[in-house]
Amino acid sequence: QRALAAAAAAAAISLSPLAPTFAADVSLNLLLNEFGDKSQVESGLRQAGISAKDSRMIKLWATLKEARLVEAGAEAADLVQLSNSADGLAVAQQLASAQTQVRQLQPYLDELQTDLTRGRWKFVGGYLGVIFSQRPAIQTVILNSYPGDESMMAMASKDAMVDEGNQIFERAEALSRAAAKQNRLEALNAYAKLALSYDRFLKAADLYGRSAPV
């Protein structure tokens, strides 16, 4: 049942607007920039000469991978237990879920690198679709990390998360364009910058090498 729920949630994400809705009092400085949507990835698949059947298969494959991230996030949220208010518990669960989804992007980045080095262009768009789908999770990590901490260090970390979060998606778009042209050198360069921004985001969010919060 959880797997089915995760798949449904993943489908909902893929159909919903890329920018999540936040309370009016959220600082605009903490919101990610807008970026191209999944249609850019699908366009890249078509330009790479993939048949309609293959394209459907890759979309299904990417949706399943996205569902695994959603399921892992839901499991992490279930483990969170706080003695304070229900609102505090809800925020903590959202953060735990988002942190888990963001951390678990790493294996997909590794697989993406392998397919790039092997010239398996048709899978690149699928991986990028998964990365794009995690924008709400990355935004949640930015907004909800360091709760109640207004120190200069916490604010600097949030600023760094915004910068690197934006870079993640800018580099993903650059990689999508390179993959559409099947330009190996350009694609590997974009991937290297994408991976670096992801690594820096984890460090700024204090997620580097840490297990899921409980």
Q: What is the pLDDT of residues 86-102, one digit of tens each?
A: 556 777 788 888 888 89
Please give the pLDDT value at position 164. Answer: 94
Listed as ranges, residues in the chain with pLDDT below 70 are 1-28, 32, 34-68, 70, 72-73, 75-88, 209-214
Dig out the tokens for 177 from the structure: 């364009």
First to last CA, the chain: 23
**Helical residues (DSSP H) of the chain, grouped into ranges:** 2-15, 38-47, 52-79, 86-103, 106-117, 124-133, 135-144, 152-181, 184-204
37-204: in CATH 1.10.10.350: no
Please give the pLDDT value at position 109. Answer: 92
Q: How far apart are CA 173 and CA 141, in angstroms?
A: 21
In the numeric block, the tokens 């590794």 are attached to: 110
Residue ranges per structural domain of the chain: 37-204
Please give the pLDDT value at position 84. Answer: 52
Q: How far apart are CA 145 and CA 206, in angstroms?
A: 9
Q: How far apart are CA 191 and CA 188, in angstroms?
A: 5
With a CB cutoff of 8 Å and minimum separation 6, the contacts of 164 are 197, 198, 200, 201, 204
Please give the pLDDT value at position 11. Answer: 39
Please give the pLDDT value at position 192. Answer: 97
Q: Of how many residues is the chain composed?
A: 214
Q: How far apart are CA 72 and CA 95, in angstroms?
A: 13
Q: What is the pLDDT of residues 136-167, one digit of tens each?
A: 899 999 988 887 788 888 889 999 999 999 99
137 and 98 Cβ atoms separated by less than 8 Å: yes
Q: pTM (2 decimals)?
A: 0.69
Please give the pLDDT value at position 13. Answer: 36
Comparing CA positions, the residue from 171, 161, 204 lying closest to residue 32 is 161
